[in-house]
């Protein structure tokens, strides 16, 4: 149901960014649980393909319809990977909680995350693609070096405690307890509306 709500809202406003941006503050203040926002966001991703589908049908060329259908099926396959299996659903939910935790301590973290995720990583991958175009052997070497660097970072981050150098285990625990207390207080207020007045 939540996924259909996301689809309908996004088809109406023609922007998944508007839908997601409207839901994020509600999630931040605890009105909308994170687990309920995930299907709405996934639905918004499906809804945003409606614009491309309508435009492709207006142009009605093979390439336009092809690209619009690729956009639609890319989002559907993403949903089939991340949503139906509860274990897989925990990955984006855990990542969202972790990003929120870091953002609550470091105000500049969201900007850094956006720059890394949407500028640096695509730029590096585009560079690797260009290296492959000029030399397959060079591209393979650079790709293997990048994979080794990523594996080394993950090992340091997860196994050697690198994540606790960014934010200590004690600080994580304190913030989690504060969040649980705020959620409990919000739950009490929602159950008894008279106490909110």
pLDDT tens digit sequence for 70-113 = 999 999 999 999 899 989 999 998 888 888 888 888 889 989 99
- For the whole model, what pTM was predicted? 0.71
Question: What per-residue confidence (pLDDT) applies to 196?
Answer: 46
**Average pLDDT of the chain to the nearest whole number:** 85
HSE-up of residue 73 (Cα within 13 Å, Cβ side)? 6
Is the pLDDT score of 8 beyond 90? Answer: no
pLDDT tens digit sequence for 132-166 = 999 999 999 999 999 999 999 999 988 888 888 88
Q: Assign 190 a pLDDT band (cuts: 50, 70, 90).
A: low
Question: What per-residue confidence (pLDDT) applies to 107?
Answer: 87
Question: What per-residue confidence (pLDDT) applies to 169?
Answer: 83
Question: What per-residue confidence (pLDDT) applies to 149?
Answer: 95
Q: Assign 187 a pLDDT band (cuts: 50, 70, 90).
A: low
Is the pLDDT score of 193 beyond 70? Answer: no
pLDDT tens digit sequence for 16-29 = 888 888 888 888 77
Q: Which H, E and C letters describe 63-116, residue by residue? A: HHHHHHHHHHHHHHHHHHHHCCCHHHHHHHHHHHHHHHHHHHHCCCHHHHHHHH
Q: Which H, E and C letters describe 125-184, residue by residue? A: HHHHHHHHHHCHHHHHHHHHHHHHHHHHHHHHHHHCCHHHHHCCHHHHHHHHHHHHHHHH
Is the pLDDT score of 194 beyond 60? Answer: no
Question: What per-residue confidence (pLDDT) applies to 140?
Answer: 95
Cα gap 60→58, rounded to integer Å: 5
Measured from the Cβ of residue 78, the count of other Cβ atoms closer than 10 Å reads 13
Q: Give me the mean pLDDT over the 38-60 stretch.
A: 86
The CB-based long-range contact list for 170-179 (8 Å cut-off, 24+ gap) reads 171/105, 172/101, 175/101, 175/104, 175/105, 176/101
Which residues touch 124 (CB under 8 Å, ≥6 apart)?
A: 146
């Amino acid at each position: 149901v939540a996924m259909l709500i996301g689809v309908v809202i996004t088809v109406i406003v023609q922007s998944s960014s508007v839908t997601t941006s409207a839901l994020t503050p509600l999630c931040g203040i605890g009105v909308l649980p994170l687990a309920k926002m995930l299907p709405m966001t996934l639905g918004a991703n499906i809804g945003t393909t409606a614009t491309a589908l309508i435009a492709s049908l207006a142009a009605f060329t093979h390439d336009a319809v092809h690209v619009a259908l690729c956009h639609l099926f890319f989002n559907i396959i993403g949903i089939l990977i991340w949503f139906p299996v509860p274990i897989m659903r925990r990955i984006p939910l855990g990542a969202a909680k972790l990003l929120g935790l870091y953002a609550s301590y470091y105000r500049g973290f969201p900007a850094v995350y956006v720059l890394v995720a949407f500028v640096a990583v695509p730029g590096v991958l585009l560079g690797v693609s260009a290296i492959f175009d000029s030399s397959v052997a060079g591209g393979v070497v650079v790709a293997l070096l990048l994979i080794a660097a990523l594996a080394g970072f993950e090992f340091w981050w997860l196994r050697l405690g690198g994540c606790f150098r960014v934010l200590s285990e004690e600080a994580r625990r304190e913030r989690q307890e504060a969040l649980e207390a705020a959620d409990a207080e919000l739950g009490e207020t929602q159950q008894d509306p008279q106490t909110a007045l």
